[in-house]
Amino acid sequence: MRLTPDQSGLIRRAEKVTFTFDGASVAGHAGESLAVALLRAGHLHLRDAPEDGAPRGAFCCMGLCQECVVRIGGQVVESCRSVVASGLAVTSLKEQQ
C-alpha cells in the first residue's frame, strides 16, 4: 500500500526539443528550466570553481548561489533561471570542455 501515490504518469509536458551543451545534443521540454533539463540528461557538472577548479552544479535552484551558471550567446546566465528552447547553444564554464 502507498499513502503517497506515484503521480508521475499523470503529468503532461510540452514537446521535446533539442539544444546543445558543450556541443552535445540534449533533449528537454520546451519552456522548462535549463538546469532541470541538464540534470535529467545527466549533465550535473556545469562549471569548475574558479579558485580550485573543483566540479560544481546546480545547488540552490532559486537564482542565489550562482553555482549553475552557464554561457549562452556570450552571456553568463543562471541555468536555473533560463529556459529550454529549440536550438539553444549552451556552453559550460568548465576549464576543459
Partner 1 sequence: MTEMCDIAVIGAGPAGANAALVASRHGLTVTLLDEQPKPGGQVWRAKSAAILDAPSTPESVAGGQLRQHLQNSAVTHLGDSRVWQIEQSADGWVLHLLRHGQVPSLRARALVIATGAREFVQPVPGWTTPGVLGLAGATALFKQELALPGKRTVVSGTGPLVFFVAAEIRRLGGEVAAVITPNSRGDWLRALPAMARRPDLLMRGARWVADLMLAGVPVHWRHAVSEVEGNNNVKTVRFRKLGADWSPKAEARSVEADSLCLGNGLIPAVETAQLAGLALEHRPALGGWVPKRGADGETAVPGLFLCGDGAGIRGAASAEIDGQLAGLGAAQHLGAETAAERARLRPSYTRAARFGMAMTALSIPRKGLAKLTRDDTIVCRCESLTYGAIAAEIAGGAASTNAVKSGLRAGMGACGGKFCQSTVARMIAQAEGGNEADVPPPTARPPLRPVPVAALAGDFDYSDLPIPKPAPL
Among 24, 27, 63, 97, binds partner 1 (CB under 8 A): 63
Among 21, 26, 67, 90, binds partner 1 (CB under 8 A): 67
Among 60, 86, 95, 97, binds partner 1 (CB under 8 A): 60
Strands 24-29 and 47-48 turn out to be unpaired
CB of 18 to partner 1, least distance (A): 14
C-alpha–C-alpha distance, residues 51 and 43, integer Å: 22
Q: How far is CA 62 from CA 26, 29, 41, in A?
A: 22, 19, 20
Residue 29 CB-density burial (10 A; 0-12 exposed, 13-18 middle, 19+ buried): middle
C-alpha–C-alpha distance, residues 25 and 41, integer Å: 10
Among 18, 20, 24, 59, binds partner 1 (CB under 8 A): 59
3 lies in the site for partner 1, by CB under 8 A: yes
Interacting residues toward partner 1 by CB under 8 A? 1-14, 29-33, 36, 39-40, 44-46, 49-52, 54-67, 69, 75-76, 80-81, 83-84
